[in-house]
Amino acid sequence: MQFVWVIGVGLVLALLGVTEGSDGIIHWVYGIVDSISYTDIWRPLYNPEPMDTYAYRPLSVVMLKLGLWATGRSVLALTVIHSLALVAFGLVGRRFLIHHGFSKGVATLSSLTAMAMPSVLFSAWLNVEFDLVGAVFVLAAANSLCTYEKAVSAHTPTRKSLIIFWIFAFLAMTTKETSALQLLAYLVAFTYLRRSERSYLKLTAGYLAGLIVVTLPMHFVDSGNTHAFTLWSDGFHPVRVLGMLFHTGSQLLYLVSHMGAAFLAVAAIRQLKVDPQRGNQAAIILIGVCCAFAPVMVSYSHFEAVVFSHWWWALFGMLLLVAGVSILAFRGETRERTALLMVLLTLIGYTAAPIVLRFARADVSARIFAACLPVLHAVIWRALFQMWSPNRGVVRVFGGLAIGIFALFTVSSAFNAVSFHRSRLPAEDAAKTVLAQSFKMTCPAIINTNAVQWLSMEDLRTRGARLGQCAWIQTTSSNPSGDMDLRQFAATGAVVADKGQDTYLYLATARTRMDAHTNAQLLGSGVRSRK
């Protein structure tokens, strides 16, 4: 009955994200989806500025349109339904781990901690994000393929599992580009490790052919907006491949922590048949390094696209992670290697896509690795328990310490995500409502100083603002300092303020403080203002 824990914890975490207020991106995406007819869902989806690029996600569009229709456009009701994907993720993740050779205990614990990661929770709580839904389809397709393989091995092949696989494969293929790529990574890993079976090669080739056909329109679209990391950019330099790899690796490190990366390396050392005593010594050294020398790392997160403050320490953790996964992907039992090779290929694929594909975005986010999370956490937990349970003395103490640190990482990750989400959205909702009701003209200028927390015209219109096409929002990552007035702030190049136009400053920082005196100083006398 361990799966009951997965259902219970998943439901609690899912519903903790249901709150009054909504993220600014939700109504913005609603507007995009409303403009797409059902007959056009197979066409590339244009993401307006600041993305200014195209995407391919027909099933996501259909699910969102149907959800809006079924709930009467209730953000709260649609969020409740959408967040239940977290429970499905936990259940299929647990089954995935069991299929790939992990014990039921480790599979249950790993699926629980995978659900607790902020990136996963973010995707569950925002009803316009379908990364978690795509991960569910990827893992479900993998589970169906494993069931089919077992039936073939038992000489009782059934087409039922194969049909179910193709259904989930189609769903993964059409949910998002990222879920399509992740399932391709799994199929390549599965086929490579069973290359003597030609039927799996045909299956993977069939999936790849289908993927090329359904995404064909994407390859002929040029938005005219290329980023610095793509081959199609005039300023591209090969060193940026390393920059892209570092950024993509940062997302994985964010999901497992330095202690998790250390024990992926420890698991790899054990797989190399190193003397157990030396393996324990290496583990103790890594634990000591992680505990004693790790700086306080600040992570900047734009919708869970993570950038760490100490690049050199992040690089150390990434090297441990990549080395551990690489060794484990080519040593050991075939089923486990399949899952870990999928992780390695996914990392390579997500790094390469923005470089070689014209339409792929460079701001790779942690949440698109959701399908990789269960196996990474499973390897870490198993390595932790292997160090703790059979040993005595100092080794057992260090093993217990490491278990406590990784457990604290998972619990605090969920606690911080819940706390931030439940405090931010109601506060933003109140502030945006006041802002929307303050406009005295239909063409105001709004300056938003937080590029991470979205503010859009749709966001304000749903709160009663009457805005014309001439109204505009300028988003800047700069903040005014000291007693700087708006003219001085504009002189820095951070904002543009037109004389005679009502200008509103929307400060969304951790400690926003705007009294009347500060507001008057900030805006100055040359611009009409509303607080």
Per residue in 338-370, pLDDT (tens digit) is 999 999 999 999 998 888 877 677 778 899 999
Q: What is the pLDDT of residues 122-159, one digit of tens each?
A: 999 999 999 999 999 999 999 999 999 998 888 787 78
Q: What is the pLDDT of residues 390-435, one digit of tens each?
A: 766 778 888 888 899 999 999 999 999 999 888 888 888 888 888 8
Residue 374 has pLDDT above 60, yes or no: yes
Identify any residues that bridge with 45 across adjacent strands, giving them in sequence order. 55
Q: Is the pLDDT assigned to residue 192 strictly greater than 70? A: yes
Sequence-separated (6 or more) residues with CB below 8 Å from residue 336: 100, 101, 102, 328, 375
Question: Which whole number is the average pLDDT over 197-212?
Answer: 93
Give the amino acid at 28.
W
pLDDT at position 311, please?
Answer: 85
Write down the pLDDT at residue 528: 41
Q: What is the pLDDT of residue 497?
A: 64
Q: Which amino acid is at 336?
A: E
Question: Given the structure tokens 């792929």, which residue do they identify?
Answer: 360
pLDDT band at 86 (very low <50, low <70, confident <90, very high): very high
Rounded (10°) angle between helices 276-292 and 239-271? 140
- The span from the CA of 57 to the CA of 177, in Å, is 7
**Whether the Cβ atoms of residue 505 and residue 447 lie closer than 8 Å to each other:** yes
Cα(503)–Cα(531) distance, rounded to whole angstroms?
Answer: 10
What integer pLDDT is reported at residue 332 of this predicted model?
A: 82
Phi and psi for 7 in degrees, rounded to 5?
-65, -45
Identify the burial level of 354 via C-beta atoms within 10 angstroms of its C-beta, where 0-12 means exposed, 13-18 middle and 19 or more buried: buried
Q: For residue 171, name the pLDDT band (cuts at 50, 70, 90).
A: very high
Instruction: Count CB atoms within 10 A of the CB of residue 321.
Output: 25
Beta bridge partners of 307: 300
Structure tokens at 492: 């820095």
Dig out the tokens for 129 from the structure: 């994000």
C-alpha to C-alpha distance for 142 and 272, rounded to whole angstroms: 27
- What is the pTM for the complete model shown? 0.89
Please report which confidence band the pLDDT of residue 515 belongs to, taking 50, 70 and 90 as the band edges.
Answer: low
Instruction: Give long-range contacts, CB 8 A cutoff, 24+ apart: 68-72.
Output: 68/30, 68/33
| Residue 174: both structure tokens together | 């059409």
The whole-number pLDDT of residue 132 equals 96
Contacts of 130 (CB under 8 A, 6+ apart): 57, 59, 60, 63, 64, 123, 175, 176
Distance CA 225, CA 54 (A): 10
Phi/psi class of residue 315: alpha, beta or left (left: φ > 0; alpha: ψ in -120 to 50)?
alpha
Indicate whether 165 pLDDT > 80: yes
- pLDDT score at 183: 97
* Per-residue pLDDT at 526: 39
Burial of 223: CB neighbours in 10 Å, binned 0-12, 13-18, 19+: middle
466: closest CA among 506, 422, 436, 423?
436
Helices (H), 176-236: 177-192, 198-214
Instruction: Select the highest-mean-pLDDT range: 19-28, 66-75, 354-363.
Output: 66-75
Nearby residues of 456 by Cβ (< 8 Å), 6 or more positions away: 24, 25, 27, 28, 473
487-495: long-range contacts, CB 8 A cutoff, minimum separation 24: 487/524, 487/526, 487/527, 488/524, 489/522, 495/447
The CA distances from residue 501 to 434, 450, 464, 514, in Å, are: 19, 22, 20, 21
**Nearest-angstrom CA–CA distance, 322 and 311:** 16
Residue 307 DSSP one-character state: E
**Whole-number percent of the chain with pLDDT over 70:** 85
Residue 431 burial (CB < 10 Å; 0-12/13-18/19+)? middle
Tokens of 168: 């989930």
How do residues 231-280 score in pLDDT, each as one tens digit? 767 777 788 888 889 989 999 999 999 899 999 998 998 888 777 777 77
φ, ψ dihedrals at 50, nearest 5°: -85, -5
Strand-pairing partners, residue 301, are: 306
> How does pLDDT run across 449-490, given as a tens digit for each residue?
777 677 888 889 888 898 888 888 887 766 666 666 666 767
pLDDT, mean over the chain: 85
Question: 374: cis peptide before it, omega within 30°?
Answer: no
Domain ranges, ordered by start, for the chain: 2-422, 439-523
Looking at residue 58, its pLDDT comes to 92
- 267: helix, strand or coil: helix
